[in-house]
Every structure is written in structure tokens, then in C-alpha cells.
A = this chain, B = another copy of it.
């Protein structure tokens, strides 16, 4: 039976979502653990804020290093900054490994992998000498932008969003499969109608065009040029416009539903302490006690 009572679990989780790594019982490792993994002490909160700032700055450095004029003028400074951040995150990674009781569990967890991925590219580019110009290494270095994912740890709502998506995964799968069916059929039709001469060089290309049309993005790199093609495109745009309403409707009703549950829970039964009564209810739906107004 679903009981809409206050759940104590999330509070605990917010205090320390990393309990499964094992907190050491005492000594300097327990103190380090409290600073790095917990956020209910002033030092822990300061560490978290400093780490968020470091992540955002290091991502900014990666981004700026790809802008030609900036890279040309301040390339050396960016390289120095990059190595400072690499050193910082390496120290953080080692400290995290040291202060947990089960480093292997941490290393294989989601954030353990992300933490490793944010330092590995820089070290690899060092150990493969003369490889600075090689494309593979440049791509590797850009992987450091995944550091940004470390931020997700700090916003709990991301987890809830993921739960909500997981809960409606069947609806989303059905919706996407309908869209895919339409997009494949109409993409093939457009490939037949317009053909490679007008840029629709293969069915995958035509499907890419069909998706960009039905989602109302409409890049315009491919456009129908025959009258029949334009008629089909017009039909697809109107269809996509109508279908666009479906995900909106699903999520709207989901949000309205959650909000409705929040509204209902304003009154509490004086006998059994049940919450979640409707505004118009006069008796407790759990024990039959008259409700206070």
C-alpha cells in the first residue's frame, strides 16, 4: 500500500550518498572522509564549493583552448592552468581512494569512473611523447569536458529527474517507436520522390531530414525541390506539429499529478496522522475519524 508519509530516507542520502564505499571509523581517514564525501561540516561545505569552482574553471579552460585567437594569444597560460587542474584532480582522486574503506567499490562506481576520466587524458598525452598533434590525443584531451558531469553529484533533483524518466520509460519507448516508424516510412518516401539529385543521397540521410522536419528544427541543408516532395514535407510538418503535443501532454499531466499529491497532503488526521486528504473530504479515508477543517 502506498502511504504518502514523510520518507526519512532522502535526508540520510543527502547527508552521505556514498555510505556503500564504507566510512572509516576513526583516525585521519575518517576526518578526510568527512571533508571529501560529507557536506554537513563547514570544512566539507567549503571543499564542495571549491571543487565546483575548480570544475567550472577547468571546463572553461578546455573550452577556451579550442577558440583559435585565444589559444594563439594565451596558449601557454591555458596549458599551465590545465596542468594545475590535472594536479588538483589527481590529488583529489588519490585522497578519495585513500580515505574510503573499499577503494575498489569507489573506483568502479559512476563518479569513480568520471573522476578517473577527468585526469587520465592529460597524463596519457604526457606519456605518449610527440603525440600532441595527433588527432586521437586531441580528442582524448577533450574528454576532460566530462568533468562537468561531476557537478551532477551536487544537484539531487537530477536523480529525481532520472527516476521520473525511468518510471515513464514505457510511454517514452512507445512514443519514440511511433515517431521512428513514421520517420522511416516518410524518409524512404522522400528518398524515392526527391532522390540523390536533390541531396537525399541515401535513406539514412532522408531519415535525418525527416527527423529535422518533424521536430520543427528545419536546418534547411536539405529541402524538397519537387512539388510532390513539398506537399509531403507540408504534411510532415503538420503531423510533427500535432505529435509534438504528445510528450508535452505526458509530462504536463505527470507534473500536474505530482503537484496534486502535494496539494492534497495539507490536512492531517488527528487519530492516525494520515496525510493526503482531498480538499472536500470530511472523514479520514484511513480510519473514518472526522477531519479538522
Binding site for B on A (CB under 8 A): 1-4, 59, 62-63, 66-68, 139, 142, 145-146, 148-149, 151-152, 155, 157-158, 161, 172, 174, 176-179, 181, 184-185, 188, 191-192, 201-205, 207-208, 211-213, 215-221, 223, 227, 230-231, 233-234, 237-238, 240-242, 244-257, 259, 263-264, 266, 272-291, 293
Contacts and interface: CB of A to CB of B under 8 A. Distances in A.
A266 B276 CA distance: 15
A267 B233 CA distance: 47
Chain A facing B: main interface SS: helix
Contacts of A172: 242
A49 B185 CA distance: 22
Going nearest first, the 7 A-B pairs with the smallest beta carbon separation are: A281-B285, A217-B218, A220-B220, A249-B252, A245-B248, A283-B288, A245-B251
A211 B237 contact: yes
Contacts of A179: 238
A216 B219 contact: no
Q: How many copies does the complex hold?
A: 4
Given A223-B221, A281-B285, A244 B237 contact: no
A66 B275 CA distance: 61
A140 to B, nearest CB: 10
A176 to B, nearest CB: 7
Contacts of A234: 207-208, 211-212
Given A204-B67, A283-B285, A211 B223 contact: no
A62 B203 CA distance: 9
Given A216-B217, A237-B217, A245 B242 contact: no
B280 A286 contact: yes
Contacts of A240: 215, 217
11 contacts: A63-B204, A67-B227, A158-B174, A158-B178, A216-B216, A218-B220, A219-B219, A244-B248, A253-B255, A274-B280, A288-B289
A238 to B, nearest CB: 6
Contact of A178 (B62, B161, B184, B254): B161
Contacts of A215: 216, 237-238, 240-241
